[in-house]
Amino acid sequence: MQSSRRAIAVSFLTGLLFLAIPALSRSFQDTPSIAGFFPLDTAAEESLEAKLLAIPDAQHAEANLRHLTAQPHLAGTEASHEVAEWLLGQYRSFGFDAHIVEYSVWLGFPKEISLELLAPEKKSLATPEAPVPQDPQTSDNRAVRAYNTYSASGDVTAPVVYVNYGLPADYRELDKRGISVEGKIALARYGGAYRGIKAEVAQEHHAAALIIYSDPADDGYQAGDTFPVGPWRPMTGIQRGSVGYMQFYPGDPLTPGIASTPDLDPSKRLSPADAASLPRIPVMPINAQDASVLLSNLSGPHVPRAWQGGLPFTYHIGPGKSEAHMKVVMDYAQRPIYDVIAVLHGQNDNQWVILGNHHDAWVFGAVDPSSGTASMLEAARALGQLVRDGWKPRRTIVIAQWDGEEPGLLGSTEWVEGHMAELQSKAVAYINTDVGVAGPNFTASSTASLDDFIRSATREVSDPQTGLSVYDAWRARVASDRQNPAQRPAGNARPENLSADRSDTPIAGLGAGSDYVAFFDHAGIPSMDLGFSGDYGVYHSIYDDFYWMQHFGDPTFRYHAAMADILGIMALRLADADVLPFDYSLYAEEISAASARLRARVEKEPQDAADLQPVLAASAKFTASAARAQPALASLAAHPVDAQKEAEINRELVEVEQDFLAPDGMLGRPWYRHTIYAPGSYAGYATELLPGVTEALDRNDPAALSHESADLAAAIDRASARLDAITSLVYAP
């Protein structure tokens, strides 16, 4: 390919314009091109992609999922280690250079979880999930009982107060009504935000404890038929999950910013009492069946209409005469977790394309995470076959299977923290899939510069149900949802969190909730998260098993194969692209729109607009720099460059993302360093655009606003300078 590129003349211009100016490129429908590939290299790439697409199949994916869901494999247990060892063997059989990396993390398991209603009547609660006769896995006594990782231990007897979703706005409503949760047990329903936010807000309001339940209005019978008849959560289903304060930092609570290796000097670990990410109150999850007992015995005022859930009675806030006894005893210790790192060496081992998903699960984890792993294994098998057939990637491909994601993104965060310098020097992009298949609806979140790269890859893969491309099926579904909003599914446990993108295939900004967080928010590696969503109500329950997938999620397993196709296409294109397919004009549009929204906000509110002037100026500068960089890249057609300069251009394109990092991070949570995107402090999974400035405005904090505005403006200016350097590099003799 190197020699063929040197022969490119004027015909090269059309191909690079396709890369650099997506809006213009779509008018050249008769010109075959793939974003990032020069015209004379396109045919070879198309041939390689055709070979790859012929390899993944549904039967292999089904076999993968059956093995991965054969037993419960909670992080920190030997069963999770066994899954890691099996994955190691699989990747080695595909031709990858694979190894296991062990970390030692602070992790707890439940010793005792109990709940009893004491008044106005006595009744034992905290009932387990009911077995389903036709699904033998639901009777497996190895399944961990429902609990919340990183809950504090505690023994509390107190009145109960219903707090809706348990978010700041809900507590403001309670304040208006003169109702306090201080010293009481707060009862919140799942939804609206990450459960750790609910724990933090309850703690801030001095609740003695928190109970979180799954309301049938959110993911139960109001959404549709419940398991085993349908895909939604039955009355006995419980959502397990972490309540660690990942809004401050993910990973091992005792080693923020430091890899928690087994040989780490103990003096470098925080004491649990000093770890900002650990809750100080006991928290437990229960099912709707038990919540019904608590809620039906509350008195006090009836709830606002928006607080009414799906149980068949009027909800009251409490406390009234209701009283409950809740006991949580946790066993915390340093425990091992096991990441699997598989490497397919390329011609250039100094550039890495990284794909990842976690392998630990709350119980069986058919959807979360094993559907993603089953597909990733098929993509790896296909890539390995291409290597056996004579192909060698231009860049090295790394596939990672993380452990400890469910407790708090442990395995990925520790690996990133231990490889920061190397990652920032070598990583081209990180592709994450977690809930790989929960239905037929493709969704994605990404850094803005890779949005059109995602769309391009989905054009190449067939949608199993419609026969259209995944892209066209995605576009048709979005159009239908917009025409019939009342018919949209009730929602997944991890919402799509779509940004302000008004295109026909909207892509969300990156928030939190999966293993891309450390790559993107901490290290500044361009990242994306992909999957097929659907009616998925059994998230983090014992019912998320092979039977559920076989009957509801993907009965034919063809969407698993389609996901493998998408991952494989993306890996090929990023590994072999001549010019990496980043589009910073899209990034400029995102920053400009977000800045304009901030300006409109301060014009309406009593805020000091002067603090935003540096941000507005920097945004305009970045837009201009992006506009100059595009024709500069296109000019390479008439001014060929040698391989060394081409490599320099690619490296500069990648590092624009790192320029958006604030060296000292955000005020109050310095682990989060990205100035354009971050999970909202009180949102959890959802992204916040221009987070430092936005949240300073939310707090009406002029000092913070000034600081964050300066950091944001400086970051955008650094990115502008990088784009200008790319332009200069292209034109340099």
Q: What pLDDT shows up at residue 31?
A: 36
Give per-10-residue mean pLDDT for the chain (733 aa): 32 33 33 73 93 98 98 98 98 98 98 96 95 97 96 98 97 97 98 96 98 97 97 98 97 98 97 97 98 95 96 95 95 98 96 98 98 98 98 98 98 98 97 97 96 96 97 94 63 36 82 95 98 97 98 98 98 95 92 92 71 92 94 68 86 96 96 95 85 92 92 98 94 83
Q: What pLDDT shows up at residue 20?
A: 38
**Quick count: other Cβ atoms within 10 Å of Cβ 664?**
10
To which residue do tokens 């009616």 refer?
A: 535
Task: Write down the pTM of the prediction.
Answer: 0.92
DSSP state letters, 627-663: HHHHHHHHGGGTS---HHHHHHHHHHHHHHHHHTB-T
Flag whether 50 is in a domain: no
Which of 310, 334, 358 is the last residue in one of the domains?
Answer: 334
Q: What pLDDT shows up at residue 489?
A: 42
Contact 311, 288 (CB under 8 A): yes
Helices (H), 405-549: 405-408, 410-418, 420-426, 451-458, 470-483, 516-517, 546-548
Distance between first and last Cα of the chain: 23
Residue 28: give its domain's CATH number: 1.20.930.40
Contact 283, 194 (CB under 8 A): no
Flag whether 42 is in a domain: no
Tell me the torsion sign for CA atoms 358, 572, 64, 87. Answer: negative
Instruction: Report the chain's C-alpha Rg in angstroms.
Output: 25
Helices (H), 307-430: 371-388, 405-408, 410-418, 420-426
| Closest to 657 in 3D by CA, of 529, 522, 507 | 522
Helices (H), 228-347: 288-296
Instruction: Name the residues annotated as catalytic.
Output: 405
Residue 408: give its domain's CATH number: 3.40.630.10
Nearest-angstrom CA–CA distance, 163 and 316: 10
Q: Which three-class secondary structure state does DSSP give residue 693?
A: helix
Q: Strand pairing partners for 100?
A: 340
The answer to whether residues 198 and 280 belong to one domain is yes
The answer to whether residues 363 and 375 belong to one domain is yes
Flag whether 43 is in a domain: no
The answer to whether residues 379 and 292 belong to one domain is no
258-262-266 Cα angle (round to 5): 65
Contact 328, 282 (CB under 8 A): yes
Q: 620 Cβ partners below 8 Å, 6+ apart?
A: 592
The answer to whether residues 130 and 96 belong to one domain is no
Q: What are phi and psi of 354, to 5 degrees?
A: -115, 130
The answer to whether residues 180 and 199 belong to one domain is yes
Amino acid letter, residue 505: T
Flag whether 85 is in a domain: yes
Residue 243: give its domain's CATH number: 3.50.30.30
* Residue/partner pairs of 473-482 with CB below 8 Å, 24 or more apart: 473/440, 473/442, 474/441, 474/442, 474/505, 475/504, 475/505, 477/441, 478/504, 478/505, 478/506, 479/504
The answer to whether residues 95 and 189 belong to one domain is no
Contact 328, 113 (CB under 8 A): yes
Nearest-angstrom CA–CA distance, 193 and 218: 13
Q: What are phi and psi of 540, to 5 degrees?
A: 60, 25
Flag whether 44 is in a domain: no
The answer to whether residues 99 and 113 belong to one domain is no
Q: Which three-class secondary structure state does DSSP give residue 57?
A: coil
The answer to whether residues 372 and 261 belong to one domain is no
- 3 is written with which tokens? 């020699």
Which of 312, 334, 356 is the last residue in one of the domains?
Answer: 334
The domain containing residue 126 runs over which residues?
A: 106-334
Packed helices 702-731 and 691-699: angle between N→C axes, nearest 10 degrees: 170
Flag whether 714 is in a domain: yes
The answer to whether residues 499 and 412 belong to one domain is yes
Number of domains composing the chain: 3
The answer to whether residues 382 and 405 belong to one domain is yes
The answer to whether residues 340 and 384 belong to one domain is yes
Flag whether 38 is in a domain: no
DSSP state letters, 156-206: EEE-EEE-TT-SHHHHHHHHHTT---TTSEEEEES-SS-HHHHHHHHHHTT
Q: DSSP letter for 676, please.
A: S
Flag whether 78 is in a domain: yes
Which of 315, 334, 353 is the last residue in one of the domains?
Answer: 334
The answer to whether residues 620 and 540 belong to one domain is no
